[in-house]
Amino acid sequence: MLKINLLNMKMKNPLMLASGVLDLTKKSMEKFKDAGAVVTKSIGKEERKGYKNPVFFETECGILNAIGLANPGIDNYLKEIEDIKIDNLIGSVFGKEADEFLFVAKKFSRYVKAIEMNMSCPHAKKLGAEFPDEEIKDAVEKVKEAGKPTFVKISAENSLRRAGLAIEGGADGIVAINSVRAMAINIEVKKPVLGNIFGGYSGKAIKPIGVRCVYEIAKNFDLPVVGVGGITNARDVIEYMMAGANAVQIGSGIYYRGEKIFKEICKDLERWLEKNGYSRIEDIVGIAIKK
């Protein structure tokens, strides 16, 4: 009932662990075997320290973070994930230019089922969402040389344009969205709460933005779309899939509901499908789109 086939991945359900959430170590990722797929932390060519504390702040309706793409570098990370027991592992990569993206993707290629290009981190200078539009097509073409299905993760800003450029470069799928660029100020100390000032905002509040982006991309382009942003329950998953998502990723939902969120959502999805007369979850994909 929940099984899907997404590019080269046979997934037991359409749920994925989103990049950047408990995916730095093999041990932490193996806790999420209830998910249909796991996306690694975004990894670069070399080690990156990230930003100074504080890097995390909970608001009244979401979470701010500014980790700064901290990671150990691809060579050290591959040692960590050697022999990992995850059926569908997706390698998230970032770079400041096309050749850097390709370098990391090639290193990842024998360990993962697919590549996710991070072109949407909202707070990393000259990386992620700041990766130039005019270089997207070339970067995707380069990463395709690694021989793996390639997803491109985009932000809410200029989502249709950047998705279109990625598709021109040969992207096999689009992931939308990443956290939204935001900030908060501590009025007692009169300073921003994050060490980097700006961070990425995630949680329930961004779900309507993510659903809108998925809907627009799915309506305008014919390729798999993965929805991300504010998913905490089965109804959220269904909403994204009706908007055109073939699968979804869950990140901040783990903060609110714990590691069992994947198993619990799958049970609720099955109940909803049975109650509403569906035999396959794939049958609800895009049914809210007006062609």
Q: Which residues are catalytic?
A: 121
Give the DSSP letter string of 197-241.
S-EEEESGGGHHHHHHHHHHHHHH--S-EEEESS--SHHHHHHHH
Beta-ladder partners of 117: 93, 152
* Matching residue, tokens 């961004």: 206
| Main-chain phi, psi angles of 62, to 5 degrees | 170, -170
Residue 131, judged by CB atoms within 10 A of its CB (0-12, 13-18, 19+), counts as buried
> Which of 204, 157, 161, 158 has the alpha carbon at shortest distance from 181?
157
